[in-house]
Each structure stands twice: as C-alpha cells, then as structure tokens.
Amino acid sequence: MRKILLYILFSSIISFAYSQERQISPQAGIEARIFPTMKTLSKEQKNQITSELDNIKRSRELFRGTLSKKQLDILKNNSLSSLKKREMLIKTFTPSQRDILNKADVRVKNLIHNVKSNFSDKQRKELNDLKRKYSKIRQGDPRGSRLKAGEMERRKKRPLPKNNRGNR
C-alpha cells in the first residue's frame, strides 16, 4: 500500500513539475486520458492508443529507475509541500532524466495529433463533450452537469398566494 501511495505521489509530482516548467498545454495530458473512454473509437484507433500509452508507461518506469537516492529522499520527505518538492526535484534532474521526460511529452503530443487527425465529426463532438464535462468536474461539479448561475432561480416554483380562498 505504501509503495502504491509513493508511486502515485511521485508520478503526480513529476508530471506536475514538468508541465509547469516547460509550459506544456494541460489539455495534452487530459486528452490522452480521455481517449480510452470514448465510445465511438474504432478498434484500430483503440489499439493505436493503447500501444502508445503502454510506451509512455514504459518510459515512466525507465525514468523512475534513474532516480538517485537524493531524489527519492526528496519525494519521501513529508515535511515539504508539493510545490517545494517539485522545485527541489527540478534542480536535481540530470540531462538524461530531462531528456526522458521531454521524449515522453513529445510522445503524448504525437499520440494526440495522430489520433485527432483521423477523427470523424462525431468523434470530435464526443471528445469536446468529454473535455467540457471533465472541465466542469475539475471546477468542482462532481457530475459535470452543474447548472449555470441564475438557472436555478428560473426553475423554482412561484409561491402560492397566502389567502387563496378569498376569491370564492
């Protein structure tokens, strides 16, 4: 259990660190995670996506194998905030580690470009709908269907008059 938590913490810190430092569009990672949930993908598209995602996972494992003792200690240090851990990790990355991360980012961008270029109109619409839904979820709406401001007031019932019997 501890290894799993450490793995999740590590992967989120690393991905956050490099997405912030190199100003990569956050949509890239989100789209790559949305692709497998799409219902309108063909088998060929699904196979292409899964094989490329497996390659990305392998590069992450390779990166984890290159971490030094000092870098692992930074990750395990619970007294540091996530931001501080990120800053300290970035300072300790070697050129080969940066190269591995850059290649992984290029791989994700290429995956997105290759898959999106072959999308039909129906698939593009589904992708946009899913991105919109996940965007709402990130903003705090657990179902991705929060009503817009003011929409709830229009849906409320009008109050009944207090004395409805006076007209009889």
Domain map (residue ranges) of the chain: 2-129
- Which among 54, 71, 75, 64 is positioned nearest to 101, based on CA atoms? 64
- Which among 11, 7, 52 is positioned nearest to 31, based on CA atoms? 52
Q: Which two tokens stand for residue 33?
A: 């995670």
pLDDT tens by residue, the chain, 168 residues: 556 655 565 566 666 555 544 444 444 555 666 777 778 888 888 888 888 888 888 888 888 889 999 999 998 888 989 899 989 998 999 999 888 888 888 888 888 888 888 888 898 888 888 888 877 777 776 665 555 655 655 556 666 667 666 555
- Enter the pTM of the model: 0.54
**Close Cβ partners of 17 (under 8 Å, ≥ 6 residues apart):** 86, 89, 90
